[in-house]
Amino acid sequence: MAAGAPMTTGGPPVRAETGEDGVALVTLDRPARHNAIDLATAAALGSVWRRFRDDDGVRAIVLTGAGDRAFCSGIDRSVTVPQPGSPYSADDPLLAVGPKAADLWKPVIAAVGGLACGGAFYLLGEAEFVVAAENATFFDPHTTYGMVSAYESIHMAQRMPFGEAARMALMGTAERLSARRAYDIGLVSELTPPGGAVPAALRAARVIASCPTEAVQGTVRALWAAKEAARDRAFALAPHLISLGNLPPAHQEQLFTTRDRAYRLR
């Protein structure tokens, strides 16, 4: 980061630092849990995005995960999410963890090292582009555990070729997408040596932050306008597909504890 006193906000699960160069670095800081998102982390992310929305000193943002094992492993499986009694209502805390959900149109670059899976795709799906280290891997475990991959698959279908998004969603934990393959298909825009994703993302963010901010944010908004109609329509179906297709939680847990931990790296 540029010289200047870092600002920390959002509480312990999320660190947010800003510098004089107009770039903010947001770090999911739960490395012992592979930076999984619990309710406190979800709330902290929403708070960070809303704060940056009103901070004219922040013009570009890099999002990463602490440690070298994971960017984010999705929702923390130890979390219990209270649900309303009505079958027509469902609360998904991950719907509010991304910057676009907070109406933030400042560019966000995701810097991925280690694994990124499942609910991490809510964050990758709302970043402008992804920089990844060579040790990064991507996979979607939902089907293995008897869960519908709805929002995650929708996000990825807009970031990579349809067949690749379908294969990743349907293969579950049996297969992981390597950083090299993710780069080859366009999910990742830049590939770096291990430990190099954050510095590379910060370099790109500083270039973007040096441009007139109105032009940058207008460009971000235009890019998202090109695909948001299809995404909104798909999101409208997602809750119904999940309620119809998900196994009961106890059955999901059984599948989780008895799963085959072997996988193929593609």
The domain locations on the chain are 14-83+91-194+210-261
| Contact (Cβ atoms closer than 8 angstroms) between residue 49 and residue 22 | no
Which pLDDT score, from 0 to 100, does residue 257 have? Answer: 85
pLDDT at 11 over 60: no
pLDDT grade for 117, boundaries at 50, 70 and 90:
very high
pLDDT at 147 over 50: yes
- Over residues 42-65, mean pLDDT: 96
- Amino acid identity of residue 25, one-letter, is L
pLDDT grade for 64, boundaries at 50, 70 and 90:
very high
Which pLDDT score, from 0 to 100, does residue 218 have? Answer: 97
When the pLDDT of each residue in the chain is averaged and rounded to a whole number, the result is 91
Kindly report, residue by residue over 177-188, the tens digit of the pLDDT. 999 999 999 999
Which pLDDT score, from 0 to 100, does residue 243 have? Answer: 86
Please tell me which residue, 239 or 166, carries the higher pLDDT value.
Answer: 166
Where does residue 69 fall: left (phi above 0), alpha (psi -120 to 50 degrees), or beta otherwise?
Answer: alpha
pLDDT at 9 over 60: no
pLDDT at 5 over 50: no
What is d(CA 191, CA 166) in angstroms, rounded to the nearest whole number?
23
Kindly report, residue by residue over 183-214, the tens digit of the pLDDT. 999 999 999 999 999 999 999 999 999 999 99
pLDDT at 72 over 80: yes
Which pLDDT score, from 0 to 100, does residue 142 have? Answer: 95
Which pLDDT score, from 0 to 100, does residue 261 have? Answer: 86
Which pLDDT score, from 0 to 100, does residue 80 have? Answer: 72
Which pLDDT score, from 0 to 100, does residue 253 have? Answer: 84
Which pLDDT score, from 0 to 100, does residue 87 have? Answer: 64
Report the percentage of the chain scoring pLDDT > 70. Answer: 92
Report the percentage of the chain scoring pLDDT > 90. Answer: 77
- Over residues 2-26, mean pLDDT: 72
What count of other Cβ atoms lies within 10 Å of the Cβ of residue 227? 11
- Sheet containing 115-117: order of strands: 70-72, 115-117, 137-139, 175-178, 264-265
Residue with tokens 């800081």: 29
- Over residues 157-162, mean pLDDT: 96
CATH homologous superfamily, domain 14-83+91-194+210-261 = 2-enoyl-CoA Hydratase; Chain A, domain 1 (3.90.226.10)
What is d(CA 78, CA 201) in angstroms, rounded to the nearest whole number?
31
Reported for 241-246, long-range contacts at CB under 8 A and 24+ positions apart, including other chains, are 241/148, 241/150, 242/90, 242/147, 242/148, 242/150, 243/87, 243/90, 244/148, 245/147, 245/148, 246/146, 246/147, 246/148
pLDDT at 260 over 50: yes
Which pLDDT score, from 0 to 100, does residue 88 have? Answer: 67
pLDDT at 89 over 70: no
CA 65 and chain centroid, separation = 10
DSSP string, 166-200: HHHHHHGGGEEEEHHHHHHTTS-SEEESTT-HHHH
Return the beta strands (E) in 13-162 as ranges.
Answer: 14-18, 23-28, 60-65, 70-72, 108-112, 115-117, 129-133, 137-139
